[in-house]
Amino acid sequence: MTSQASPGRAFYLALFTAALLFLLPAGITGWLSWFGGLARTIVAPISQPMAKVSRWLKPTGLIASPDGIAAIEEEREQFRTLYLRESEENRRLRGLLDELRTLSVIDGTERTRQIVAPVVASGSDLSPGLMVVRAGSRLGVAVGDIAAGTGLQLIGRVVSTDALTSTVEIITEADEQILGVVMPDGTADGLPCRLQPEGDGTLRGPVEDRRVSMSDKPIEPEVGQPVRLRDPDRWPRAAQMLIIGTIERIEPAPNQPLRKIITVRPTIPDMARVQSVLLRISERGTEVPAPMGGGT
Amino acid sequence: MNPIAVAIVAWVFIGLDAGLRDAFALGKTGIAPSFVIAFVTFIAMYAPAPAALWSALIIGLALDLVFQVPGLGGGPALTIVGPRIIAAVVGVWLVLTLRGLMIRRNPLTLGFLAGLVSLVWFAALAGLFALRHAISNNTAVEPSRVLMEGLGSSLYTALVAALLALVLMPLAPFMGFATGPQNKFGRRG
């Protein structure tokens, strides 16, 4: 390149500024997220049709039941989740009473609102586990809200919002452990487990060793049993008892023979390819615009 | 170069990357083609050097703003400006030094150069994030994973770019690029 072909000083200054911005701590460059929201809004009109085509070309892999059966299954799953959540809440409250102390308990006025949000963009080379959905802070979406899919499958958590869009991090791609509970059929209690995303669409981790009361017989997890979220410290109440997936494989822990390692696969085989998500928005006494979907 | 036409096509290509990447991904390997890298390479092949470098900078900025980076330990996603700007500029610089030696009218040339640009792009991204991790680690980006996936993605991008050449070359006059015959010194006659 000759000197006549030089892009000029302004170019080198811009390049230097970019390098500087890259190396600065995220706290200082937080204001850039506003421009990010603007850029995503500008790109959304073209990325959304492309995302639709993408999901048509490669669907999630979930085999759809006939409409009537699917509706009943969805309803059954909603009631089961509600029942398990209330059982869990009951258990927690009994524990509180037993301890005879008052903690800063869940705000009794907390309500959950649901919004169906279409996916407008997928992840990139640096962020394969993120997806952008068309519902932002104008609709009351906030960081930490939950994204669920068909059959109350937990998809992920909102990790950033702007006025019109939000970014959801998918649980199978997140850099975070999840505490769950294996739910043997017909019981409200279960086997706690700690799951770590494996990067291949599954989560894997050890299950706690528990025994049947008044006996030494261990409670064994079984392939096909559902695993639900029970992680009150890191996930909001609206997410508790949502389905993480079902057990696909069980193997003994290499160093702890009494423990089992389970591999859990979400009920939606490829969550990155869902067409829309159900955002479960926790309201805490703030006024937000009218929802697009139904509420609970 | 017609900057408005290039901006419109760039907007479409960023939309393609945002929307179609998953459809073309090879299973759960993280290997997927980049339409934007193919387009940046195309600009670098035909535009004057200053315009190509400025285009790379602006497209890189747009990519950095559109695609967030996951935070460490399930933390908030971050908008980090810089990595793709630098990767795009380095890639364009490579094409500017090589384009005189290439037969630009051959669609395979775009494929070959896009593959090279993609390799440099991912190597730059991996290096930059390794540097950032050494200073302050608050992103969940793994430089080694970016590099490994980048190798596969580069090959895939080269294949897709060779096919995209069949679309981009007829669009070249619309974007103000001359694709006329070259003389033996690689300059357009």
Indicate whether A23 belongs to any domain.
Answer: no
Chain B residues in contact with A53 by the CB 8 A cut-off are 19-20, 23
**Residue A4 scores a pLDDT above 70:** no
pLDDT score, position A281: 85
Q: Are residues A172 and A89 in the same domain?
A: no
Decide if A19 is inside a domain. Answer: no
Asked if pLDDT for residue A186 goes beyond 60, the answer is: no
Which of B20, B61, B136 is the closest to A25 by Cβ? B136
- The parent domain of residue A74 ranges over 50-108
Q: Determine, yes or no, domain membership for A239.
A: yes
A204 and A238 inside one domain: yes
A95 and A140 share one domain = no
Residues of B in contact with A50 (CB under 8 A): 15-16, 18-20
Q: What is the pLDDT of residue A166?
A: 92
Higher-pLDDT residue of A44, A286: A44
* Phi, psi of B124, deg, nearest 5: -65, -45
* pLDDT mean across residues, chain A: 79
B153, closest residue in chain A (CA to CA): A125
For A87-144, write each residue's pLDDT tens digit.
877 877 776 666 544 333 334 445 778 888 888 888 777 777 889 999 998 888 999 8
d(CA B106, nearest CA chain A) in Å: 23
Domain limit, last residue, from A108, A128, A152 = A108
Give a yes or no: residue A2 inside a domain.
no
Q: Are residues A255 and A278 in the same domain?
A: yes
Of the listed ranges A3-12, B36-45, B118-127, B134-143, the one predicted with least confidence:
A3-12
Q: Identify whether residues A94 and A116 lie together within a single domain.
A: no
Taking CB atoms and an 8 Å cutoff, what residues of chain B touch A19?
Answer: 82, 86
Same domain, A133 and A257: yes
Share of chain B above pLDDT 90, in %: 60
Q: For residues A290 and A93, what is the distance between their CA atoms, to the nearest angstrom?
A: 33
Identify all chain B residues contacting A200, using CB atoms and an 8 Å cutoff: 28
Q: Is the pLDDT of residue B125 over 60?
A: yes
Structure confidence by residue, pLDDT tens digits, B9-34: 999 999 999 888 888 888 778 889 99
Residues 110-149 of B with CB under 8 A from A: 122, 125, 128-129, 131-132, 135-136, 138, 140-141, 146, 149
Interface contact A46-B19, CB threshold 8 A: yes
Q: What's the complex ipTM?
A: 0.85
pLDDT of residue B95: 94
Q: Is the pLDDT of residue B90 over 90?
A: yes
Contact: A7, B50; criterion CB under 8 Å: yes
Q: Which two tokens stand for residue B80?
A: 């980090």
Please tell me the total count of domains within chain A. 2
The reply to whether A13 falls in a domain is: no
Residue A4 belongs to some domain of the structure: no
pLDDT exceeding 90 applies to what percent of chain A? Answer: 15
Q: Chain A partners of B12 at a C-beta cutoff of 8 Å?
A: 46
The answer as to whether A42 is a domain residue is: no
d(CA A76, CA A153) in angstroms, rounded, equals 13
Q: What is the pLDDT of residue A201?
A: 86
CB contact under 8 A, A23 and B50: no
Residues A186, A129 share a domain: yes
**A53, A125, A176, A202: which to substitute to probe chain B, counting the most B Cβ within 10 Å?**
A125
Residue of B nearest to A17 (CA): B82
Is the model's pLDDT at A151 over the cut of 80? no
* A248 and A143 co-located in one domain: yes
Question: For residue B109, what are the contacts with CB-CB under 8 A and spacing of at least 6?
Answer: B45, B102, B103, B165
Q: Is the confidence at residue B87, as pLDDT, over 60?
A: yes
Contacts of B19 in chain A (CB under 8 A): 46-54, 120-122
Residue at A30 is within a domain: no
Model confidence at B46: pLDDT above 70? yes
Residues of chain B neighbouring A32 (CB-CB closer than 8 A): 65, 79-81
pLDDT one-digit tens code per residue, B172-183: 888 888 766 554
B54 pLDDT higher than 90? yes
User: Is the same domain home to A93 and A122?
Assistant: no
| pLDDT single digits (tens) A104-117 | 333 444 577 888 88
Q: In this predicted model, which residue has the larger pLDDT, B176 or A81?
A: B176
